[in-house]
Structures are given as structure tokens and as C-alpha cells.
A and B are shown apart, each in its own frame.
Chain A
Amino acid sequence: MKRRTLLKTSTAAALLAMTFAGPVTSAFAADDPVKVGILIPQSGPGGLFGPSSKNSAELAVEEINAGGGILGRMVEPFYADVGGPPSDAIQAALKLWKGEKVEAFIGMHDSAVRGALDNLFKGQVPYIYTPVYEGGECADGVYVLGETPAQQLEPVIPWMAENKGASKWYLIGNDYSWPRDTNAAAKTYIEASGGTVVGEEYLPFTADNFDSNLAKIKDSGADAVLVTLVGGASVGFNRAFASFGLSDDVTRLGTLIEENTLAGIGAENSQNLFSSAGYFANIDTEPAKKFADAYKAKFGDDAPVLNSLGESVYDGLLLLKAIADKAGSLDVAAMDKAAEGVSYSGPRGEATLEQRHTTKDIYLAEANGADFTVVETFSKVGAGDNCQ
């Protein structure tokens, strides 16, 4: 008698439990929010991109949720500061992943942090890396939105040769992987366009006096300079460049000169300065203007200025939704299977995932006082051979 009651009650309990637990495959019920970890730099050298990144993320979350969320679930963003050394970034990401049980990550940070996070996630959680970088990221579960050197330079260098007479190039950047990889790619395009490389230099991050470099540039007879300096070095170099009168005769092309850096360089020093990127605040297309208006409406006139790094976080969330929609789930294996060929539309135009990277439009802009003006758009530029 007792045993039968026990059996009945335990069976009932088990059935009840199974009902409430839901199907085994989905760990989250239909109306649980999607927790997305947004890793942006809020301190350290990248910290100046924090505010624009956060704003872009908020705008994206608002718009996605207004449209029904991801797979019918509302997006709940969790922000963490990854502007410090990789060890700090790992702690921050871990707190979101293991602590808050975040299901996907959007990352806007440097490659050192990216390497650390790859090692941490080991393909167990979807991770979208959004800023411009050196290429070559092929880990499982990682999707790359940002511009690669191939994208930024393959169409642009021939354009410079044709329209600006750039044939003798001087390459100058900071001493780490992104500038070196960028220059390696640049050399092939320069040669292909009939030009020569007349100088190549790498500076430590601490450099703040560029006089010797400028003297060498002048002496080399270069008519174009490819700038892969970052942060304060970029500002300092470009200011000094103009002050020595070099900007009259020598064209500058940068692959990471965005609106903040331009503000630091100053309108009077930005003559003949070009930048090649996937986004500028002043892009004249419909989607870009719509985005800029929405940004201004939400954050006001004094909001942190839009730039390609900050805006990339907005696109990152769009890409996450696009892949998840096609895969039908946020499970990283399903997403990996579905990812190839996924496309989405955003302020940058239409982008398509190929080999984990996005084929998209590249804009070449010229500095015009304190702003950029797009002078040429190259559509659907591939990101190059990153993963075989």
C-alpha cells in the first residue's frame, strides 16, 4: 500500500517536473530574455570609444526588441569593461558568462583581449568580434564583423594611385601585429598598382616625438604615407606631419583614423588626409542617415561622436540576430552550421558572412575640416583569405 502510493506520487512528480522543465534541447523558456554580453573598453587606451560603443549597443537593443527581439525573446544587454589588460578582460567576461549566464558575446576590443577570450570561450559560446583588425581569426563560434587589411586596402590603394598619383609609399605604424599585418598586405597591393615602398617603420607605443620619422619621410621622396599608428601616436604624428608642411605634397591614408582621432588631429592639420573604413558618421546613404538620426534623437546633440569602432557594436547585434534567425537557435553549433552566407542590412550597407568574416561596402573618406566626407564607395569587398 505504501509502496504503491510512493510510486504514484513520484511518477506524478516526475511528470510535473518534466512539464515545467520544458523540452530538453532548449535550456531557456520562450519568454526568458536573451542575455547578451557586450564587451567594450571603458578604461585604458581604448576607453575613449566606450561611450559611443555603449550608446550604439543601447540603440541596437532598443530597435531589435521593438522588432520582436531575437527568436522571439527580448534582448537583455550586460556590459563589461575590457579596456584593460587581457587578464582583467578575462575576469570581466567570465563574470558575465559563468556568473550571469550570458548566451552570446559582442566584443569591441584589441586583439590581445581577443586572443585571451578565444582561449577562454573555446567555441562554447557565440562571440562576435566587431572592430577593424588584422585578419586571421578562425576559431569556432567566432564571427568577425570588422574590416581586414585586405578589405581596406585592396580597392583603395589602386584608387589612390589613379586619383592621387600615389606611387611612392611610406609605411609607418606602431610595433605590433595589426600594423605589421596591414603593411604586409599593403605591399602586395602597392606593387600590383605599380607603386613602390620607399620606407617602413614601426614605433613603440610610447613614442610621442616623430620628427626623425618625418625627416625620413621627407628625405625618401614619398608621395603617400600609409598610417597604421593608433591612438595618441596617430594624433601626434598627424599634427606634426602637417606642421612641417608635408601635407601639401604628401597624401596620407589611414586605416584607423576615425572621428575622435580626427578631432585630436585638428582641422588645420588634416589636409590631404584619407581614411578607409566600413563606417563614417557622415555616410550619405539612407540606412546610415537613418541610424545617425535615431542616434541623435536618443542621445542628443552632445552625444559622443559616432565612429566606426563605436558603431560596429550596433552592427554586431544586428549580425547576432541575423545568424540566430537563420540557425533558429543560439546554440553555437547550430549557429556555426548556419553562419556561412548569412547577411544583414545596417548603417554600413549590406554585409554577408563568408568564412566567418563579412563581405561589405568599404568607404574611402577624405578629411574635410573637422569631419569626413566620403569620396568613394567600394561595394561588397571581400575580407580576403582568412580561414581555409
Chain B
Amino acid sequence: MASSRAINVLFLIGLLLVPFLWDSFVAYQLGLFLLYGMVGQGIGLCWGRAGFLPLGQALFFGVGAYVFGSALKLEAGSLFLIAGLLAAILLPALIAFVVGFLVFIRQIGSGPYFSLITLALTMLGFQLANSMDWLTGGFNGMTGIPALPGTDTYETLYYVIWAALVLVSGVLAYVGTAPFGQLLGATAQNEERLQYFGFNTALLKAIAFAISAAVAGLAGALFAPHQGIVTPQSVGFLLSAEIVVWTAVGGRASLMGPVLGAILIGFMASELRDSFQYWEVLIALVFVIVVIRFPGGLWSLVEGLAHRLPSFGAKGARRRDIETDKSRANGPVRLAFEDVELVLGPVRILDKLSFRIETPGVHSIIGPNGAGKTSAFNVLTGRLKPTAGRIEYSGAPVGGLSRHRIARMGIARKLQIPSVFPDLSVDRNVDIALWAGDLTLTKMFTLRPFRWSTPLLNEMYDIFPFLEDGRQPAGSLSLGQRQKLDFAMTCLTQSPLLLLDEPCAGLSSSETGEMIDAIERIVGTTGSTAIIIEHDMQVVERLSNHVLVLNQGALLANGAMEEIRSDPAVQAVYGGGSK
């Protein structure tokens, strides 16, 4: 938001003035907490935006400090120093990327396990730093690190630190606004849904983690000349926990909040330490209160004041002026289920399910509750792995692949419960759908994708006019509107195969009519294949020529609506007659 930009700039300017308003010694002391604040900003990117909490950032901080400290000690010229600085930034980033990627691809949801892994890694790092004293100086630390050439540690190094803070803040601000940052936010809100759009969320999170590690490494690199010594405590759990606390208190979802937290809590604590005996109790109390009552941290209080400020920055309507070509491979979709089985524990959910769909248009899957309809979608889209059997899509096997890979093959899915990204605006939700499958890693870091548009998008605005009111958060839409948005997003991916799970659930009868029209129109325009799961026979009748009836995990009947209606087996199942 533009007014927070003003506050951020004011804050940075204020920091620059510290040596003049106080003295250079105060600035020297403050510099240390600016460095810790930078580490916190990296944590803010992971935790505040992407929704996973790294508990061991000091590992990267310490690695950066040891690496650059060694480079400084060697005193081998500026080229070597630059190489050392790059190593201090890139080595932690590499470690973080590998660790993050390996952990995130294994499980969805970034729960406590990732945090505990980072915690254990930092403890391991601390132990190694202590033991490998030939490399790190051991318990006594790497001493005798000279000042950064060209700076005086107590006078001018502060400006170098300030410049690094500005750089990091600028980069993180940009990354946050760019499509990459938006996708991170989407990951935090609904990771699974994002995967159905073809995004490899594990990769996204790993990159975010790597960025945070690079920031921590840079901060560590400047720590070395600032302190003149690097000890294993700079790698350990206690420092990591402290920085997390400062980030939480300052405000993890804001750009400068972590810096504020480090200054207020960290710097103040070191001042209070001598005068007030129970300063730790006070800080712990503040911390607990902030966590419970102000999840946005102290920065959110600052921003509350900021709303009084005039806001500047880009305003005006969104310009969507870049036509992207999202047309997929033409020709009819070929989907085949061959003897697919899904057994979970004692329950046989899918029992040798076999069918083929080879024509475009709308097909429907119906059946009583528990027949396995949604489960069929689940094995098709990678949510579950079939126990046996074969699923083929346009000749390629699909069973057991990951969600995002299947999505990229051209299968889009709309879940039963309308799943949008509630904290993002409607416009942003639409963006994500447009980006699906076409947003490369490099493009993610540019601003151009915000201007993408397709002819289908204009058609969507025509069918669902409420979409044009793009600034409102998707979470504030009514249930019916969220269904429509979800549907629109699914279609905007322009995937050849659309899987719609109860698209009319929860809609009023007029809304249902609208949805039926929309489905008909879209499928007709794009020439795609849609498979609908529905309970509402009116919808099924109007839309589809081809109907599949599932019962107890197997195909019961297959054909046009009239055939199905008159099939005695189907009647028995729906009538509740036989077993």
C-alpha cells in the first residue's frame, strides 16, 4: 500500500540521521541491530508472506560471518574480498535452497516439521562451529577480523550497513510486489489450490528460503568487520530464537517491522540491561502480549498512524495490455481409466474403474454418495495415488505424478468447496489463473505479467461482471461469487481438460442457471473437454450428452442421458432398492 511505502522511506531516512541526531557511537551500536533486523526481514519473507517459519536463520548468518571474516583476515586485495562477499551470500542461499527444496517436495503444508528441521540444523551448525576449531577458531571464535577496507568501524561502517539495509529492503519490497511474491502469498493461503494451477510450490518456497538465507548471509558478512570476532553463538539456536522474537514483535508481515523489532527489543534490552534488573521479564511480557493481541506486530500500530499520511504511488486502473497466447494443443482430449483401484486401509474406494472420454464438450459423472466420484478426480489430479491400474491422458501416464505436473499437462481442476485465495484481490486471483502454466521463473520476477490479458478474460468479464470490480479481496465475496470466481479461474487456465466438482453447489436457482450458461458458453468457445460431477440432474441434463454413473467405486453405466435414465441398474441404485 502506498502509505506504507511513505512510512518505510521515512523510517529509513530516520535511520540515516541517527549519527547526526545522536553520535557515531550510538550509531555503531545501532548498526548491530540493523544487521539483525535484516535477518528478520528475511524471516518476514518466509513467515509473513509464504507462511513457513524458519527457526534457524542464525546458521546462514553465521556462515556468512565466518566466510567473509576469513576473507577479510586474508587481506588479499579487493577482488578477493568481493569474491568472499559473494560466497558469504551465495553459500547460505545454496544450502537453504537444497534443504528447503528437499523438505518441501515431500509434504504439503509447511507445518512445524520444517521449523524443527531448521532448528536441528542450527544446533548441528553450532556444534560443528565449536568442534572444527581449525576452520572457525572453535569456542573462542574467529578473532582479529580487521575493519572493512575503506571504512572506520566506529564511524563510517554504519553507512555501509545502512546502505545494505536499503538494498535489502528494496529487493524484498520488489520481490514482494512481483508475481513471485504474490504467488508466495497464495501458497500461504491455499497451497494445494495453487498446485492445481501448475505451480511448483515447493520450488517457490525453496527460492524464498534461499533469498532469506542470502539476506542473512549478507548481514553476517557485515557482522564480521563490525564486531571483529565471530563465535559459535552467531550460529546457534538462541540467536535464531531471539531474531524470530524480534521479528514477531516488530511485525512479520511488514517490510520494516522486523527492523523495528530488533531496534526496540534488542537495542533497548542492551540499554536497559544495566539499569533495570528484571528487563528480561519485561521483554518476555511484551512479547507474549504482542503475540496474543497484536499479531501484526508493533509496526501495525505504526501503520495505523500512517493512514493519516498522504499516499503516493501508482494508482489508477489496471492496464492489461499484453496479449498472451494461452491456446493449448488443439484436438480432442483423450482420457482413459483402466482398471483403476484405490484402496485406503480396509476401504476400497475405487474398484477397477474403467472408462474413456474422447470427445470434447461436457461429460458428467453422477452417482450416489460415496461412489468414488471425487476420488476419481483425486487420482486423476495427483491428490491421491492409485493403488493399481492405469490412467492415461493423451497417451501419457498420469497416475502418481505430482499435482503441479499434472496441471501443466493440461488438466485443470475446480474443487468441491470454492477455493480461491481469500486475502488476495479478485484481480490477483485472476492473474494467477492467467499465469498458470505460462509463468516462467524469470518472468516471475518482472512486473510485466500483471499486464497479461486474453480474449477469454474479456469473455469472462462479460459473463460475470462482478469480476471487473477487481480490487476487493476474494474472501469478501459471497459464496456464490466465490464459486463463480473459482470457476472462472479454472477456465482461464485454458486447459484442454476441465474437471469441475459440483460447480453449482450452494448456488441459488438463478445462479445455477447462470453457471450452466457459462459452462456451456466457455466450453463451446474454447473447444475444451469438461467433466462435471453433479447431483443436480437439471444441470446434468442441460449440459451433457455423455453421462457416467459410478457406484461403489466402479462404472455402473455409461452413455447418453436418456439411456442412463432408463437403465434399470441405475434406477435401482438411485431408488435405493437392491444392495
Contact = CB atoms under 8 A, between A and B. Distances in A.
A120 B228 contact: yes
Contact of A98 (B154, B227, B228, B273): B154
A91 interface: yes
B25 A99 contact: yes
Contacts of A98: 25, 154
Nearest to A84: B233
Interface string B106-145: 0000000000000000000001001101000011110111
Nearest to A120: B228
B227 A116 contact: yes
B227 A94 contact: no
B270 interface: yes
Given A79-B274, A175-B130, A87 B25 contact: no
Nearest to B223: A87
A26 interface: no
Q: What size tier do the contact residues of chain A reach?
A: 20 to 34
Given A90-B228, A98-B25, A80 B274 contact: yes
A111 B234 CA distance: 16
Contact of A115 (B141, B154, B223, B274): B141
B157 interface: no
A90 B143 CA distance: 12
Contacts of A204: 127, 130
B436 interface: no
Q: What size tier do the contact residues of chain B reach?
A: 20 to 34
Interface string A95-132: 10011000000000001100110111000000000000
B29 A91 contact: yes
B229 interface: yes
Contacts of A328: none
A111 B153 CA distance: 23
Interface centre among A90, A115, A204 (most CB of B within 10 A): A115
Contact of B270 (A88, A112, A177): A88
A26 B154 CA distance: 26
Given A94-B25, A112-B231, A118 B140 contact: no
B398 interface: no
B245 to A, nearest CB: 15
A79 B274 CA distance: 8
Contacts of A221: none
Contact of B228 (A88, A112, A116): A116
B532 interface: no
B32 interface: yes
B229 A86 contact: yes
Interface centre among B127, B144, B227 (most CB of A within 10 A): B227
Contact of B143 (A88, A91, A95, A119): A119
15 contacts: A81-B273, A87-B32, A87-B223, A87-B233, A91-B32, A94-B29, A111-B140, A112-B139, A112-B140, A112-B141, A115-B140, A119-B229, A176-B138, A177-B133, A205-B130
Given A119-B144, A205-B130, 4 more contacts: A86-B141, A87-B32, A111-B140, A176-B140
7 residue pairs, one from A and one from B, having the closest CB atoms: A176-B139, A85-B233, A116-B229, A115-B143, A119-B228, A112-B140, A115-B140
Interface of A: 43, 79-81, 85-88, 90-92, 94-95, 98-99, 111-112, 115-116, 118-120, 175-177, 204-205
